[in-house]
Amino acid sequence: MTEHSETLAQTSGTDTVSASDSQGRLTRLDKLWVVSIFAAIFCIYKAPFWIDSYLGSLPYARSVLFTATGALLMGALPFAAGKRWPRLAAYRADWLPRKWSDLPWFLLLLVVFLLVGGLITYVLERFDLWIPKTGVLKSVHSPAPWLILCQALLVIVAATATQEIFWRGYALAQLEKIFSKTTALFLQAILFAAAHSYPLGESFRVFALGLLLGSWRQRRRSLLPIVVLHVAFNALALGPFYYKSYQKAGNQFLRSVPSQLKSLGIDLEPVMQEIRTNPRCKEIDHLLQKPARTAIPGIIQYLGDPNENVRLWATTVLWKCYGRKGQSYYGDALESDNPRIVEEIIAVIGFARCRELLPEVRETIMESSSLRVQISGIFTLDMLDDVEGLRQIAREHPSEKTRRAAEVHLKLMTELDGENKDIAERAPPTEQ
């Protein structure tokens, strides 16, 4: 072990005894205390993440603060416990490899991590299997780009490093005091996966990651290489989503629109305040942490909520987060027995520019007995420039009000097209 590693081990208040020696020297009461200290540290460092998840996702700056707090506690609490209870909570903080012959193994493992991480990123994006909260929901709220950058650095670098300190440095050492090395290895990987609260498919990936990193820790002892590996893996898995969020942050969707409307005498601040505090809006936020195949049908159900602002938020999230990717789900929702869901999903189809669903929208307008559904459909046909659809409604719909509404939209579209042609004809010819 290097001199630097020995110094770190001494400052963290650690023993040099092996796992089997520790098991022999600890009584049952001691082992109970080991578990209690471990559980207390886990709950304390997870508290900011749980609170943030419960409160929802507004504002973004709060999530950044809570992430930073959780990461700090994750790294600091094991160190403090090791100093306070050296025999019951100590762990070795070996950072650098004991032998430089470990370097080739590290480089090989790094290449494997990069290849596997890249493959997983491709699969997740290609088949839309996992959409992280940070990569989608935050882009809806349009925070400042520097906040997204801070969150990315915290999640990919800082929190990842402290995770290795906690799970492979501290937790694995504590479990080895109670169980055999093999049992401790598998148990810490299981707990590591469970702590992430991911869907089942993602949890298997995290479990395998914990198993691999834990094996390195047991065999090679050094923490720094597995921190580098974990950071590289998360950068590949999460980096593309943060990059997309960073790009989308420029649209200022929920920050610029209220201010623009306020200049026209329309104040949306009460609406935004309710969205921030309404429990059902928070439930919509939580659904965005799930795969699209689970999240989209769940959010669609909120389109039928009695609260208009909840429906507004569900519509906004479907449009901004999923857009055209949710077309198959939108088509199914058009057959709902709840006219509110049908009315709102027609608006989502228009905002998301789902032209493939125009035949279904026309059919819904013709068959629905709800005037609100019919008018919402006409607005969507207008939004998607479906002149033929508007002519069909104006000609064949049994309701006179609906026919007249379609005629008005057709007239407006015709006048607008005429104005555009006049502008084009008066425009000076471009130089060749």
Cα–Cα distance, 228 to 168 (Å, whole number): 13
Rounded to two decimals, the pTM is 0.55
Q: How far is CA 16 from the centre of its chain?
A: 41
pLDDT attached to residue 396: 92
Question: Residue 143 contacts by C-beta under 8 Å, 6 or more apart in sequence?
Answer: 59, 60, 61, 249
Q: Which structure tokens are listed for 133?
A: 């909260």
Which domains, and CATH codes, for the chain?
A: 3-250 (no CATH), 278-421 (1.25.10.10)
Cα end-to-end span (Å), the chain: 74
Cα–Cα distance, 334 to 360 (Å, whole number): 8
Question: Residue 167 contacts by C-beta under 8 Å, 6 or more apart in sequence?
Answer: 188, 191, 192, 210, 213, 214
Amino acid at the residue 46: K
SS3 assignment, position 369? coil
Q: For the chain, list residues with pLDDT below 50.
A: 1-24, 130-141, 250-258, 260-261, 264, 266, 419-432
Cα–Cα distance, 299 to 283 (Å, whole number): 9
Cα–Cα distance, 389 to 398 (Å, whole number): 15
State the residue for tokens 């623009």: 260
pLDDT attached to residue 334: 93
Closest CA to 324 of 286, 292, 298: 292
Q: How far is CA 133 from the centre of its chain?
A: 2
From residue 281, alpha-carbon distances to 83, 147, 162 in Å are 44, 22, 32
Q: State the virtual CA torsion across 73, 76, 79, 85 in degrees, nearest 10.
A: -50
Cα–Cα distance, 371 to 299 (Å, whole number): 24
CB contact at 8 A, 74 and 163: yes
**Helix and strand counts by DSSP (H, E) for the chain:** 24, 0
Cα–Cα distance, 330 to 332 (Å, whole number): 5
Question: Residue 228 contacts by C-beta under 8 Å, 6 or more apart in sequence?
Answer: 106, 110
Closest CA to 223 of 166, 138, 287, 295: 166
Cα–Cα distance, 244 to 430 (Å, whole number): 37
pLDDT attached to residue 138: 39
Burial label for 27, CB within 10 Å (0-12, 13-18, 19+), is: exposed
CB atoms within 10 A of CB 418: 10
CB contact at 8 A, 164 and 229: no
Cα–Cα distance, 272 to 117 (Å, whole number): 38
Cα–Cα distance, 336 to 66 (Å, whole number): 40
Q: How far is CA 47 from the centre of its chain?
A: 18
Cα–Cα distance, 397 to 84 (Å, whole number): 79
Burial label for 388, CB within 10 Å (0-12, 13-18, 19+), is: exposed
Amino acid at the residue 109: L
pLDDT attached to residue 331: 92
Closest CA to 209 of 197, 193, 195: 193
The string of DSSP codes covering 216-250 is HHHHH--SHHHHHHHHHHHHHHHHHHHHHHHHHGG
